[in-house]
């Protein structure tokens, strides 16, 4: 099956700095990679996603990059703000068997 | 508010018991997904239904089962409960049965097994 590893597990940055979270996956058949943000006590919410036919996608301060050869994808948050503080999960969908796997999460703290 | 509703919000029960969690998807969404979130296992995909039929199966235990009814609401049944089943159970819905459609999560049901 698929194995999604996520690093780091915790990340603290100063407000205004950038934050980068990385995920690796094992199954080359995986073709869809979403990122979710989960604030404390709340539900996960999709913030950005990327498909395997694209190398990079941006949405304002958030970007995701995908390296299919190396089987890793990363979330980049620029100009971080205190409201970016949350747990971020990456995920990978394996097309074969239609399976969905999450990373273990990164707790991001943005220090004002 | 995502439009996905889950009941109950909290559930406390004893080991060996059986519980049913309920989920109503967003209006117009045909697919329902169930997830388990626990401290030691993280967020795990359990099962997906699309328009009443099972579409995909993840790490769902044999003691657990689910179904989606004609009105598209879904129920997750957990039986012979163990302490380790204590977790937050999320339901999500999407328009189609593809994982690459945005999934909208409900507020979750927190299950505590004593």
> B14 pLDDT exceeds 90?
yes
Q: What is the CA radius of gyration of chain B?
A: 13
Beta carbons within 10 angstroms of residue B114's beta carbon: 10
- Which pLDDT score is estimated for B16? 97
Task: Calculate ∠ Cα A38-A41-A46, nearest 5°.
Answer: 20
Q: What pLDDT digit, counting tens, does each position of A57-104 carry?
A: 999 999 999 999 999 999 999 999 999 999 999 999 876 666 788 999
- Contact (CB<8Å) A102/B45: yes
Q: Which of B48, B102, B105 sits opposite A43 (nearest CB)?
A: B105
Q: Which of A98, A103, A106 to mutate to test the interface with B (most CBs of B within 10 A)?
A: A98
Q: What pLDDT digit, counting tens, does each position of B76-112 carry?
A: 999 999 999 999 999 999 988 777 778 899 999 999 9
Task: Summarize the confidence of residues B16-41 as an average pLDDT.
Answer: 94
Q: What pLDDT digit, counting tens, does each position of A2-49 carry?
A: 789 999 999 999 999 999 999 999 988 888 999 999 999 899 999 999
Buried b (16+ CB within 10 A) or exposed e, B81-94: beeebbbbbbbbbb
- Which pLDDT score is estimated for B42? 83
Q: Which of B44, B56, B105 sits opposite A44 (nearest CB)?
A: B105
- Residues of A in CB contact (< 8 Å) with B are 31-32, 42-46, 49, 51, 89, 93, 97-105
Beta carbons within 10 angstroms of residue A58's beta carbon: 12
């Amino acid at each position: 099956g698929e194995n999604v590893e996520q690093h780091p597990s915790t990340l603290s940055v100063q407000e205004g700095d950038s934050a980068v979270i990385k995920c690796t996956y094992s199954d080359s058949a995986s073709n869809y990679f979403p990122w979710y943000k989960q604030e404390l006590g709340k539900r996960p919410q999709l913030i950005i996603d990327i498909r395997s036919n694209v190398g990079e996608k941006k949405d304002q301060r958030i970007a995701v990059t995908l390296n299919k050869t190396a089987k890793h994808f990363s979330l980049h948050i620029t100009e971080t703000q205190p409201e970016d503080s949350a747990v971020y999960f990456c995920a990978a969908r394996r097309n074969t068997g239609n399976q969905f796997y999450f990373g273990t999460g990164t707790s991001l703290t943005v220090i004002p | 508010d995502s439009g996905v509703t889950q009941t109950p919000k909290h559930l406390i029960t004893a080991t060996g018991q059986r519980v049913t969690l309920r989920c109503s998807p967003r209006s117009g969404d045909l697919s329902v997904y169930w997830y388990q979130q626990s401290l030691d296992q993280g967020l795990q995909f359990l099962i997906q239904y699309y328009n009443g039929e099972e579409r995909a199966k993840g790490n769902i235990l044999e003691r657990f089962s689910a179904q989606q009814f004609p009105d598209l609401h879904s129920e997750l049944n957990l039986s012979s409960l163990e302490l380790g089943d204590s977790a937050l159970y999320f339901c999500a819905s999407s328009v189609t049965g593809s994982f690459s459609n945005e999934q909208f999560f409900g507020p979750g049901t927190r299950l505590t097994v004593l």
